[in-house]
Amino acid sequence: MATLGRRPTLLLLLFLASVAGATSQRQRQGDALPGLQTYIVHMNTARKPEVHPTRAKWYAAHLQSLSIDPDQHLLYSYSTAFQGFAASLRPDHLPLLRSSPAVLHVHPDPVLSLHTTRSPEFLGLSQSLKPGSSSSGNDSTSSPASSAAVPSSPFLLAAEAATKDVIVGVLDTGVWPESKSFNDAGLPEIPARWRGTCEAGVDFAPSLCNRKLIGARSFSRGFRAATATSGGGEREGGDKPKEYASARDRDGHGTHTASTAAGSPVANASLLGYAPGTARGMATSARVAVYKVCWASGCFGSDILAGMDAAISDGVDVLSLSLGGGAAPYFRDTIAIGAFAAAEHGIFVSCSAGNSGPRSGSLANTAPWILTVGAGTIDRDFPAYATLGNGERYTGVSLYSGPGMGKRMVLLVYAPPAPSGKGKAVNGSSSSSSNLCLPGTLDPAHVRGKVVFCDRGTNARVEKGQVVKAAGGVGMILANTVANGEELVADSHLLPAVAVGRKTGDMIREYARSDPAPRTVLAFGGTVLNVRPSPVVAAFSSRGPNGVTPEILKPDVIGPGVNILAAWSGAVGPTGLAKDQRRSDFNIMSGTSMSCPHVSGIAALLKAAHPEWSPSAIKSALMTTAYTVDNTGSPLSDAAGGSLADPYAYGSGHVDPRKALSPGLIYDITTEDYIAFLCSLNYSLDEVQAVVKRANITCSRRFRGPGDLNYPSFSVVFDGKSKKVVRYTRELTNVGAAGSVYDVKIRAPAGVTVTVKPTRLVFREVGQKLKYSATFFAKKGRDQMGTSFGWITWINKKHQVRSPVAYRWNMVR
């Protein structure tokens, strides 16, 4: 997990209303205090003296007892998501805190990052729209075999209607409340159990909330303690846009994710003409509560914890977080700690897997009480074409919406001579950085009037286009490298631009190098539907294995995350660049940030249909009903190289909301199970307590290892020298019909023998629980390196309850 490398120079200025459950004594301080860094402090609540009526007062008194003035140093006191506080401290404060018996751990405030529409049809939810409407945004997939709308399901329609009582909390960059995606027409009064609020702030009045957007709050004390700002933080310096000291969304990311999860239907939506149709969220009747925890310089752990603390107290049912950092032990993972508290309160937590794929082991948000979501494509595309002087025509993608190039070819240039002093090699490349189209690397004398071929990498794709345009280029071909493979991500560039895959890029690059006068012309094909194959796992989607607990398979599922249309901020253009003066009510974005809220919204549907289900039951339903074939009937492929994908890329598969509503059986997990899981990791009692926030913890050691958790998937780790037999026990709960009988079906790789006992489960009643054991034998003489995969599926005439199994050999822990 990332930590702060800078020392803040300015303390928090009071601009927020007081936060329920998270108080600050530092609100009176407005002057800079040098030499400070923010830390999150875990407290042992068993040590709280009874003289202090609240934990917040105890935290303040404890700081004072150590000669640390809470009025100057205390940022947040947490009440629900975490037991402890955040404070800006000097180096000499740390030994005092760490030597205190009441302090469990002290960690630097981590800085996390955002994981940056057609999908309702693709997810089979379009039947909820009015007849004749089409779905283009807040994207959402139908059956794996077809992207056409399917017959309406009464159960699905009833679930959608029932989401009026479900509240989805979104932790992100805030919200643009004027967006039509938050229209509350037809919605009844806000659920009486809602305890949240709509905070006043800069350019944000409480009256902007309504029966759809029922809450909006912002948390910035960690951000402002770590970042030098000018008063209210309206301008960060340079040409960066205004940063609103309120829940208003300057960035656009939060508006996009919130509307994807639960946006109201909006007719005639598009991004400057692309992806036209009716934009809608997954749960169109659900309520939205927004918690702004991400700012210009990132998402600070102290602010995230404050947002989660408030969301739990406010009464949300689902929490969606499209952000994360690196893998870390759970007792040091800000999101994991807050999510544990949420799950204990019956709140379903969905998080993005990260955009660091296709690198192995690149996952974020790996805790088993979190649903970790990767990204796949949908069956809609935005083709664009590059025709070369040699007569070849190549297809890529683009969202360029301005005047075209016409039919006349112009010169194509690749890696032109850079301006004097700017031609340094990048990442060991023998060519100058002009091949990457970095700022300052293109010489107008060599670029003006030409199309520039740019390699993907190092800087943002849209920034490359801006660099080309500023140098006088009339167009750009943006080519993937090996890291991105054949994945095509469309962008709303400021000049005519076509993005192509690696193989196509190699051919165009060779043409540009070999022809003495290479020429090209670019053209744009608009929006096309029913693209095959789809879904395909996105190359950027982070992959397993789980770097924190290898015995838990992650990600859990994938959802739509490539070229997703959803609502956007009115403060920035679709590229997010300061020089982009265009404005659109909707934008098309890609990332696991986009796939996460899809699944969060689907979880809201399941919560409405089955209010008695626990978060782990909802998670199990999503996982065991996911599919692993595309709309051609072939196994899911991987955009990174075009080969077949595997469970380290897609987990249990692509979510299928219709099947998840009726999974037949579920793997349920209790809080006590999670505690046993943490104990099996050989954490100290203090470390376990830091996660579960209970005064007294006893580790029973009833789990032989973390793989004994009743998880809906399996991850088997063999030590090639000693550990060649792994046994797991699982328990299934019947949520289908009385008298249901299931038989097991096993698929195993050549190097493993799998036995399951019993091989048949007979459920006489709904709610009945039955156990089974699975034993995995690594065959003699088959000491392997690497990984293999298989499945364990429980089948009857109506349901297939399928669990992926990942196998790893010769891993030393």
> For residues 659 and 331, is the Cβ–Cβ distance under 8 A?
no
Q: How far is CA 11 from CA 30, 87, 88, in A?
A: 6, 10, 8
Structure tokens at 167: 């509240």
Q: Which of 88, 270, 398, 593 is catalytic?
A: 593
Which amino acid is present at 18?
S
3-state secondary structure of 415: coil
List phi, psi (to 5°) of 294.
Answer: -115, 135
d(CA 125, CA 157) in angstroms, rounded, equals 9
d(CA 726, CA 775) in angstroms, rounded, equals 6
d(CA 542, CA 544) in angstroms, rounded, equals 7
Q: Which of 253, 256, 598, 610 is catalytic?
A: 253
> For residues 448 and 473, is the Cβ–Cβ distance under 8 A?
yes
> For residues 322 and 256, is the Cβ–Cβ distance under 8 A?
no
Given phi > 0 = left and psi -120 to 50 = alpha, else beta, which region is 342?
alpha
d(CA 641, CA 38) in angstroms, rounded, equals 42
Given phi > 0 = left and psi -120 to 50 = alpha, else beta, which region is 483?
alpha
d(CA 417, CA 122) in angstroms, rounded, equals 46
Q: Indicate if 253 belongs to the active site.
A: yes
Assess whether the previous peptide bond of 533 is cis (omega < 30° from 0). Answer: yes
d(CA 325, CA 223) in angstroms, rounded, equals 16
d(CA 460, CA 491) in angstroms, rounded, equals 10
List phi, psi (to 5°) of 649.
Answer: -95, -40
Q: At what angle do helices 334-344 and 685-692 cross, to 10 degrees?
A: 60
3-state secondary structure of 428: coil
- CA dihedral (575, 577, 581, 586) in degrees, to 10, reads 30
Q: Indicate if 172 belongs to the active site.
A: yes
d(CA 756, CA 774) in angstroms, rounded, equals 5
Q: Which of 109, 139, 172, 673 is catalytic?
A: 172
For residue 57, give every residue at least 6 positions away whose Cβ sits within 8 Å of its Cβ, in sequence order, or none: none
Helices and strands, number each (H, E), in the chain: 18, 38
List phi, psi (to 5°) of 502.
Answer: -65, -45
> For residues 357 and 538, is the Cβ–Cβ distance under 8 A?
yes
Beta-strand pair 586-589/564-567: antiparallel
d(CA 465, CA 493) in angstroms, rounded, equals 6
Q: Residue-wise over 506-526: b if at least 16 C-beta within 10 A, else e?
A: eebbebbeeeeebbbbbbbee
Beta-strand pair 103-108/37-43: antiparallel
With CA atoms as reference, report the closest residue to 86 among 16, 37, 19, 27.
37
Q: 């030597």: which residue's tokens?
A: 99
d(CA 279, CA 55) in angstroms, rounded, equals 45
**What is the SS3 string spanning 152-210?**
CCHHHHHHHHHHHHCEEEEEECCECCCCHHHCCCCCCCCCCCCCCCECCECCECHHHCC
Beta-strand pair 725-734/665-666: antiparallel
Beta-strand pair 740-747/786-795: antiparallel
Q: Indicate if 345 belongs to the active site.
A: no
Q: How far is CA 205 from CA 178, 181, 201, 244, 255, in A?
A: 11, 18, 7, 13, 17
**Which residues have a catalytic role annotated?**
172, 253, 593
